[in-house]
Amino acid sequence: MIDSMTMLDDVAFAKAMLEKKTLSNADLVFSLRNLLRMKYYPVAVKYFYDQAELDEFKKKNDYKVAAHPFTFCHYLAARASAATSC
């Protein structure tokens, strides 16, 4: 059963997702699109569960690192700025 009130409340929805034992692909897409306000569907999500796994990934793959860490607020500000500059 879908609880529409929980889905409309970002904090309650985030807490509900964190309480789940596992997340489905739909949970991930919905969370990323709605909580992070992503305009497009995510291409990939990769979680690293320990340092050894991360180190192995870094040795075998090309990846990009942001020049500076950014917060959710930075992300929203950049997104808002890009939307109004068109």
pLDDT digits (tens), the chain, 86 positions = 678 888 888 888 888 888 888 888 888 888 877 777 766 666 666 788 899 999 999 999 887 776 766 677 777 777 676 666 54
Sign of CA dihedral 79, 41, 23, 48: negative
Query: 61, 13, 4: which is closest to 34 by C-alpha?
Result: 13
User: According to the model, what pLDDT value does residue 57 have?
Assistant: 92
State the pLDDT at residue 56. Answer: 95
Task: Show the tokens assigned to 29.
Answer: 């897409």
Which domain, by its residues, includes 57? 4-84
**What's the confidence (pLDDT) of residue 48?**
86
Q: What per-residue confidence (pLDDT) applies to 33?
A: 78
Residues whose CB is less than 8 angstroms from the CB of residue 86 and which lie 6 or more positions away in sequence, other chains included: none
- Structural domain count of the chain: 1
Say which amino acid occupies 38: M
Q: Which two tokens stand for residue 49?
A: 């569960």
Note the maximum CA span of the chain.
45
